[in-house]
């Protein structure tokens, strides 16, 4: 009755089905793990943003690589801005996707160490080769607060670190590079300033990172598992249809032979 399952066509079809089921189940778990990682990451960011600020030197130091657990941790620092050695980060966008610069200003602490502070975004209002006009920060000693970020890399950001740029322009924020340029001890990572807010709204402060979106990974996981469950169902449907077609063909009367001299 089901001997047709031993034919070459059906053996191949059955093997394909047996391979697809575990592959689709595994793809579903892969998407589930991505969903879980995204939820955990969102929670880490939310916790970091909600925590009270701590002195920057308590969680970073010269040459320190900021770990994931400390990303977006709110930190504070007391010192003065060094606008003489201010640089701009090229090809950065604001909340409206307008292209401009991020303003990176060294912040000199009481002990002489430097904290890199991203003061925010300004528009590119002139030729790319020219150093843009930057609103000055407050003068004298002050306390700033911001979100701690890790040094940028091409691998993590997808931004190519172009060489030979105009003076005081960079592509990626690197505390190591700035330490070499300044000849001073620079704390690892950098800070996205959140306060004090600029008096005239420029530079435009960088908004909080998105920590509410979870993407469609869970939906994709369910989709893959539905596909996996559909494979055996489809296989059974095909088998029954094949059996029915073969039975119908066997039960059909043989065509009458036509006489040779007809």
pLDDT at 163: 83
Q: What is the pLDDT of residues 67-120, one digit of tens each?
A: 999 999 999 999 999 999 999 999 999 989 999 999 999 999 999 999 999 999
Report whether 76 contacts 149 (CB < 8 A).
Answer: no
* pTM beyond cutoff 0.95: no
Average confidence (pLDDT) per 10 residues, the chain, 262 residues: 85 94 97 95 93 96 95 97 96 91 97 97 85 92 97 92 90 96 97 93 92 91 96 93 82 69 58
pLDDT at 254: 67
Separation of alpha carbons 79 and 136, rounded Å:
15
pLDDT at 261: 62
């Amino acid at each position: 009755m089901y001997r047709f399952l031993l034919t070459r066509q059906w053996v191949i079809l059955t093997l394909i089905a047996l391979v697809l089921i575990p592959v689709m189940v595994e793809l579903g778990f892969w998407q589930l793990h991505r969903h879980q990682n995204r939820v955990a990451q969102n929670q880490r960011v939310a916790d970091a943003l909600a925590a009270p600020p701590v002195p920057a030197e308590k969680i970073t130091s010269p040459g320190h690589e900021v770990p994931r657990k400390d990303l977006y941790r709110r930190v504070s620092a007391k010192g003065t801005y060094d606008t003489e050695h201010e640089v701009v980060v090229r090809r950065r966008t604001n909340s409206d996707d307008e292209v401009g610069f991020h303003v990176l200003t060294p912040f000199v602490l009481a002990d002489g160490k430097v904290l890199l502070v991203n003061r925010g975004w300004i528009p590119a209002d002139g030729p790319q080769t020219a150093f843009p006009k930057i609103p000055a920060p407050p003068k004298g000693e002050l306390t700033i607060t911001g979100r701690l970020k890790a040094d940028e890399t091409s691998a993590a950001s997808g931004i190519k670190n172009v060489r030979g740029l105009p003076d005081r322009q960079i592509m990626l924020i690197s505390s190591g590079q700035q330490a070499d340029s300044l000849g001073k001890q620079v704390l690892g990572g950098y800070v996205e300033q959140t306060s004090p807010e600029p008096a005239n709204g420029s530079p435009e402060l960088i908004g909080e990172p998105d920590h509410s979106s979870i993407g469609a990974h869970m939906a994709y996981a369910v989709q893959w598992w539905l596909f996996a469950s559909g494979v055996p169902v489809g296989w059974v449907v095909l088998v029954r249809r094949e059996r029915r077609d073969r039975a119908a063909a066997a039960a059909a009367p043989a065509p009458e032979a036509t006489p040779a001299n007809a």
